[in-house]
């Protein structure tokens, strides 16, 4: 009886941990740890993704104005631009005065707020000339209520028992839920993706609420898209391990963001991050790429920009450094994302439904810009940060410090981050008799001697040490 009870408790605990780890939108995931992930192009593995909300990126909110800023992004080190939806926005049941870009009225047109189709083509062409990739947000789970499809093809939509078209959930009342059980829906939206790929030469898609759309749709459609352009990037707003086996390159690591938020606030130990990554290795397909971030448009609305969410300027930097340098255990690797305005420390909860142009002249603008340039330069110059295996390094204070190494055959880097808002001294357990230098202060060298490396870390301080 005791054994049965103990097994029951363990089962409940495992399920709870599993569901927390795989936080998602639509359905229970299945582990894919023994499978192999879809192989990704090299440029995808090296991507540094910058998310743009075009309405707020410039005062004008247009492609032309954003195009004038592309050289700045190139200089910062960005190589991949994700544009939030650029289509006309529905008026019926609209939220706010301008509506959400995720309430799409016409999938084949451009929101006149941003310019014309020719303006968009010019933007993509200018980006490509700077060797920047452009991925487009695809909203395939739902449409605006005044999307012509509702009148022309009401059979495309999910209905309640009374035959009324429904929203995905009560909060998303400005959108109508599509029904992918209808083969015509699949054909229509596959054609949407193919059109933007062929006619506008985009480099891939970020797929909104990808979990709510059947995986067999993605498998068939992504294969067809790769016939048109083989080296596209496919990013799923998803936590489903199976998405790495049906054609997606990247999935969201919401769970990492969530646990870091709790660690920084003092609610959890930094050891919880280690547990999350250990579970990730077991559940996700071999070679999976996870999207790491301390900010995106959803999180800015919910928790605020990084300065607010992570306890100030230094907390914002520490968590960004973590997301840019950590990969994953085993064969898991990662790609970093940051949101427009992060690079100047913009600290405002911007709405998706109004126009609130980013104020680029913040008190910390220069400091943050240098910081992000350095992070991206670190990824470019230290191969281990992108390609290397990742191993946790034990410290004398694993409650507050998360430390790890990234290692390739010819490059090894140590990362140590104090995730608490208080200074501390810590010992890291490493191989004895090794010499390291500080990446950001190359004339400063440290030695492990007996295998213990002592570091004095300020509140939220990030250290990158390279093994000689």
CATH number at residue 229: 3.20.20.80
The model carries a pTM of 0.93
Cβ–Cβ under 8 Å, residues 222 and 248: yes
Taking CA atoms, 319 is separated from 83, 85, 284, 378, in Å, by 23, 27, 23, 16
Q: Mean pLDDT over all residues of the chain?
A: 94
Residues 204 and 255 in one domain: yes
Q: Which helix (H) or strand (E) holds 441?
A: strand 441-447
Per residue in 306-355, pLDDT (tens digit) is 999 999 999 999 999 999 999 999 999 999 999 999 999 999 999 999 99
Question: Where is the domain boundary, 387, 415, 438?
Answer: 387
Residues 358 and 413 in one domain: no
Residues 271 and 341 in one domain: yes
Count of domains in the chain?
Answer: 2
Residues 330 and 412 in one domain: no
- Gap between the Cα atoms of 241 and 245, Å rounded: 8
- What 8-state DSSP symbol labels residue 144? E
- Beta strands of 305-368 (E only): which ranges? 333-339
* Residue 93 resides in a domain: yes
Domain containing 266 equals: 21-387
Residue 408 CA from chain centroid, whole number: 24
- Gap between the Cα atoms of 258 and 252, Å rounded: 12
- Gap between the Cα atoms of 81 and 60, Å rounded: 19
- Gap between the Cα atoms of 444 and 171, Å rounded: 53
Residues 253 and 297 in one domain: yes
Per residue in 252-272, pLDDT (tens digit) is 999 999 999 999 999 999 999
Would you say residue 133 has pLDDT above 80?
yes
Residues 334 and 424 in one domain: no
- Gap between the Cα atoms of 336 and 326, Å rounded: 9
Give me the mean pLDDT over the 368-396 stretch: 98
Q: Which helix (H) or strand (E) holds 293?
A: strand 289-293
């Amino acid at each position: 009886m005791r054994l049965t009870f103990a097994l029951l408790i363990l089962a409940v605990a495992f399920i709870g941990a599993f569901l927390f780890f795989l936080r998602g939108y639509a359905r229970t995931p299945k582990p894919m740890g023994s499978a192999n992930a879809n192989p990704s192009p090299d440029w995808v593995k090296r991507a540094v993704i910058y998310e743009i909300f075009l309405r707020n990126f410039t005062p004008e909110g247009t492609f032309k104005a954003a195009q004038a800023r592309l050289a700045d992004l190139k200089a910062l080190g960005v190589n991949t631009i994700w544009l939030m939806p650029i289509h006309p926005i529905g008026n019926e049941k609209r939220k706010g005065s301008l509506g959400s870009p995720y309430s799409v009225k016409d999938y084949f047109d451009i929101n006149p707020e941003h310019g014309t189709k020719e303006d968009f083509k010019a933007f993509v062409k200018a980006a490509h000339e700077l060797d920047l990739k452009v991925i487009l947000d695809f909203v395939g789970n739902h449409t605006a209520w005044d999307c012509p499809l509702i009148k022309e093809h009401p059979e495309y939509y999910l209905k309640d028992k009374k035959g009324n078209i429904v929203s995905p959930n009560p909060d998303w009342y400005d959108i109508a839920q599509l029904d992918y059980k209808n083969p015509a829906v699949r054909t229509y939206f596959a054609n949407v993706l193919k059109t933007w790929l062929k006619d506008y030469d985009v480099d891939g898609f970020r797929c909104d609420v990808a979990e709510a759309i059947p995986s067999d749709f993605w498998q068939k459609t992504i294969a067809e898209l790769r016939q048109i352009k083989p080296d596209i990037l496919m990013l799923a707003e998803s936590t489903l391990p199976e998405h790495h086996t049906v054609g997606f390159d990247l999935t969201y690591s919401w769970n990492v963001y969530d646990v870091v938020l709790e660690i920084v606030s003092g609610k959890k130990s930094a050891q919880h991050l280690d547990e999350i990554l250990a579970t990730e290795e077991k559940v996700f397909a071999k070679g999976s790429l996870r999207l790491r971030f301390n900010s995106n448009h959803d999180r800015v609305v919910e928790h605020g920009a990084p300065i607010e969410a992570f306890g100030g300027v230094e907390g914002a930097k520490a968590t960004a450094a973590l997301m840019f340098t950590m990969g994953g255990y085993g064969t898991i690797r990662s790609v970093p994302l940051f949101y427009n305005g992060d690079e100047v420390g913009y600290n405002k909860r911007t709405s998706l439904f109004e126009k609130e142009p980013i104020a680029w002249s913040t008190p910390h603008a220069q400091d943050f810009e240098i910081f992000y340039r350095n992070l991206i330069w670190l990824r470019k110059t230290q191969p281990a940060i992108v390609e290397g295996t990742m191993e946790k390094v034990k410290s004398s204070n694993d409650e507050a410090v998360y430390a790890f190494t990234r290692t390739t055959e010819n490059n090894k880097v140590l990362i140590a981050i104090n995730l608490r808002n208080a200074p501390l001294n810590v010992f890291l357990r490493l191989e004895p008799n090794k010499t390291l230098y500080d990446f950001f202060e190359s004339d400063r060298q440290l030695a492990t001697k007996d295998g213990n490396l002592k570091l004095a870390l300020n509140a939220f301080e990030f250290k990158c040490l390279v093994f000689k």
